[in-house]
Structure 1
Amino acid sequence: MADDVLSQSEIDKLLAQFASGEADAEEMKKEENQKKVKTYDFKRPDKFSKDQIRTLNMLHDNFARLFNTYLSTYLRALVSVEVVSVEQLTYQEFVQSLSNPSVIGILAVPPLKGNIILEMNSGIAFSIIDRVFGGQGDNTIKPRVLTEIEEAVIRRIFDKALGHLREAWFNVVQFNPKMEAMESNPQFAQIVPPSDMVVIITLKTQIGSVEGFLNICIPYLVLEPIMSKLTTTFWVSANVSKEDHPENTDIIREKLRRTKVPVIVQMGQFDISVREFLSLSYGDVLQLDTKVDDELKCIIGSDTKFLCRPGTSGKRSAVQITKLIKTEGDEGTNG
C-alpha cells in the first residue's frame, strides 16, 4: 500500500506548528528512525505476493501502452494511459470506492472461471463520447447513466480494450475475454462475495485536459489456477522464448503472404469543371493526360510503388511492371 499523502491543509497546519514552536523537528526525526510496525489483519490475509503484484504491474504496463496507442489513433487526440497502482483488497472495499453512476463492464475470461470487471470513470467515458461525436473531448456533462447510443460507443472502446488485454496476458495465459453485461450501479455488479480478495489495477487516463481512472478488478478465484505463472521469472522467460522461436517468424511471413492489398493502375487523369461534369452524356470522349506509349502508375494501397505498361495476359487485361519507384521509407530494403 502506498504511504499516506498529506493534504494541503495538513501541510499548512504542520508549517504553522513549526513556526509557533509547537512541533519539534528533532523529536519527529527520532520517531521516523524508530522501527515502524505494520498492522496485519488476520481476517483479511494477503493473497498475492510482492513478486506477483510486480508481475501484474508489468503485464498491465504493456496493456496500457497498447490501449494508449489505440485511443490516440481512434480519437485523434493527445492521450495518456499509465498504471499508477496495483493493490489487493476485498471486493466490498472496491465496490464502495466506485462512484454511482459508473461505467462498469462485467467480463467473462474463458477458459478461466469467474468474471472480472473493467470500470471506467464517467468523466473519461463522456470525454470519449464527446470526441467521437465531433466535439473537443471536454467533459461538460454531469455524471449520469449512459443512453443506448452512448453505451454502444463505450462498448466498442471496451471491445478494443479486451483485445489488448488478451494480447498483454498472452505469455501467461491465453484467454478470450468477452463482455457479458454493462452496469451503472456498482451494487449491481456482484461477481464475488464481498469478503473475497481481489487485485485492482488502476490506470490513470488523460484525454486532452480531462483526467480520470480506469480500473481492472480481478478476483483471486479467477487467478488461482495460474498463480504459479504470475512470477517475474516466468514472464521474462516466456517473452524470451517467444522471441527465440523461428516458427513465429514463419507464421508472420505466412500471414503477410495471405494479406490482401488493393492494387490500382492509373490510366491517366483530367480536370473538368462541375458544369462540364454535369453535362456529360453517353458517347462523350474525355482526353487523359497520358499518351499511348507512356508508362502508367501502379498504386499499392495509397502509395505509387511501380511504373507499368498495359497489355493482355490470355483473355484478361494485365500490366507489365517496368520500374520500381523507391521512396525514403524504402531505403535499405531489397527491391
Structure 2
Amino acid sequence: MSDDFDDFVLPDPPKMGAINDDMFDQDSIDALFGFDSDAPVQPKSGLKAMIESNVISHERLPMLEVVCERMVRSFATSMRNLTSDAIDVSLEEITSTRFGEFMNRVALPAMFGVFQVKEWENYGVVTVDSGLIYAVVDALLGGRKGSRPMRVEGRAFTTIETMLVSKMVQLALDDLSQAFEAIEPVNMEVERMESSPRFAAIAGPSNIAAVATFRVDMEGRGGKFSVLLPYATIEPVRDKLLQRFMGEKLGRDRMWATHMASELYNTEVTVDVVLGEKLMSLRDVMTLKVGQTIALSHSPNDALQVQCGGVPLGRAHIGQRSSNIAIRMATDISKGYPK
C-alpha cells in the first residue's frame, strides 16, 4: 500500500497575483476580497460596531426578577384552579437577547401569543412549547393524571387546542399584570394566537428584548413558556425596573416614611396674619410722617387672612388673650383658603 504513495507529490503553492481554480490559500482569499492580513485590525466604533455586534450585554433588571418571582406563586395557584392538578411552576432564567435570534431558536411546533400592554402602547409575545401545549390540552380535556399525552406530529393545532392554550396564556398575563401593580398598574390582554414566528413579529430582528422563561410541571408532564418583552415595550418603566429591592413595598421603606412624617409634624413654621393691604404710590410712601394714619379696608370685626410663606391658609379673627394678641381660626386650614 505504501508503494501507491511513492509517486505522490504535493502541488506547488500558487504564486501571488495568480489565480488557481483548484486551490486558494488564506492570503489569496484575503487578497481576493480586499483584506490585508498584515494590516493592524482597527477597532469598530460608532454605529457600525453597534450594528455588527453579536454580543448582547445583559442589563440586569432587579425589579423584573421580583415581578417574575411573584408571578410564579400566583400562576401556580391559577393553574391548579384551572386544571385541578398538582402544578409546579418555576422561573428558569431571565436574560436579554435579540428578538430575531430568540424567535429563530424556538422549537416548532409551538404557539405564539401576541399580547398588548395598553398603558405602554406596545406589544409582547408569549411562546409556549409543544410539551406544555399537549399537557394543558390533555389536562383540560380529562386526560389521566400521570400519563404523558400523545403527540401527533406533522399537523397544525386545532381551534380547540388554540383556544385552550389561549386561556392559559391569558391567565399567565393576568398574574403578570397583578405582579406589576406594585411598580405600575398595567393591563395585558391576548390579541391573537399564532403558530408561526413570522406572524408574531412585533419588533425588528435586531431589537433587544428581555426574556423570562418559566417551567410548568404537571405530574410527569409539562413544558416551558417564555414571556418576551422588547426593551421598547418596557421603556416607560425601565427606571423603576432598574431600582433595587428594598423591603416589601418595592423600593419604599416604611420605617423611614414613618420617621419622616413624625419629624415633619415637629417642624416649626412661621404663620403671618395680614391686618390689611393698601395700594399706595411710591410718592405717598416717601412722604409718610410719624403719627400719620393709614386707613385700611378691614374693620376690627372682619376675619383676617392667615398665611404661611406667602401661601394663604385661611381666615381668622384677631383678639386678645392673657395680655397677648391672639387669633381664632374662622375656617379650617385643611380645606384651604376660600378664594
Q: Deviations over 1:35-56 (max 9, x none)?
A: xxxxxx8525757533x1x322
> 1:100 offset after TM fit, Å?
2.2
Correspondence for 1:168? 179
Task: Map 1:2-13 onto structure 2 (within 5 A).
Answer: none
The answer as to 2:75 corresponding to 1:67 is: yes
Structure ranking higher in helix proportion: 1
Residues 242, 161 of structure 1: alpha-carbon distance in 2 compared, 3 angstrom cutoff: farther
Aligned residue type for 1:83 = L
Paired residue type of 1:169: F
Tell me whether 1:210 sits opposite 2:210 in the alignment: no
Relative to the length of structure 2, the TM-score reads 0.55
Q: Distance in 2 between matches of 1:176 and 1:243?
A: 27
SS in structure 1 of the partner of residue 249 of structure 2 = helix
Q: Residue 140 of structure 2 is aligned with which of 120, 123, 132?
A: 132
1:153-210: CA deviation from partner (whole Å, max 9, x where unpaired): 2222222222111101111121111111100011221100000001110111111111
Q: 1:234 and 1:110 mapped to 2: Cα distance?
A: 26
Q: Which has the larger radius of gyration?
A: 2
Contact 2:111 2:195 in 1 (8 A): yes
Query: 1:63 & 1:165 partners in 2: Cα distance?
Result: 5
Per the alignment, residue 303 of structure 2 pairs with none
- Contact map agreement 1:124 1:139 (CA 8 A) in 2: no
TM superposition score normalised by structure 1: 0.56
Distance 2:115 2:173 in 1: 9
**Aligned match of 1:118:** 126
Match of 1:231 in 2: 242
Counterpart of 1:270?
Answer: none
- Residues 47, 197 of structure 1: 8 Å contact kept: no
- Which residues of 2 match residues 101-112 of structure 1 at below 5 A? 101-112=109-120
Counterpart of 1:49 in structure 2: which amino acid?
A: E
Paired letter, 1:204: R
* Deviation by residue 1:69-115 (Cα, 9 ceiling, x = unmatched): 11123212121111111110100111011122211100000111221
Distance 1:58 1:145 in 2: 36
**Match of residue 327 from structure 1:** none
Distance 1:122 1:65 in 2: 23
Cα 1:236/1:103, change in 2 over 3 Å: farther
Distance in 2 (CA, whole Å) between partners of 1:201 and 1:179 is 17
Partner SS state of residue 57, structure 1: helix
C-alpha separation in 2, matches of 1:127 and 1:242: 43
Counterpart check, 1:150 vs 2:166 = no
Matched residues, percent identical?
Answer: 21
Q: Distance in 2 between matches of 1:57 and 1:136?
A: 35
Asked if structure 2 preserves the Cα contact closer than 8 Å seen for 1:55 and 1:235, the reply is: no
In structure 2, distance between residues paired with 1:194 and 1:102:
19
Distance 1:216 1:133 in 2: 25
Equivalent residue letter for 1:65: R
Match of 2:108 in 1: 100
Deviation at 1:225, TM superposition (A): 1.9
Sort the Cα spacing of 1:207 and 1:129 in 2 relative to 1 into closer, same or farther, 3 A: same
For structure 1, the residue ranges without an aligned partner over 5 or more in a row are 1-40, 246-335
Count of matched residue positions in the alignment of Structure 1 and Structure 2: 205
**Partner of 1:221: helix, strand, or coil?**
coil
SS at match of 1:202: strand
Matches within 5 A, 1:76-91: 76-91=84-99
Change (3 A) 1:116 1:74: same
- What amino acid sits opposite 1:106 in the alignment? V
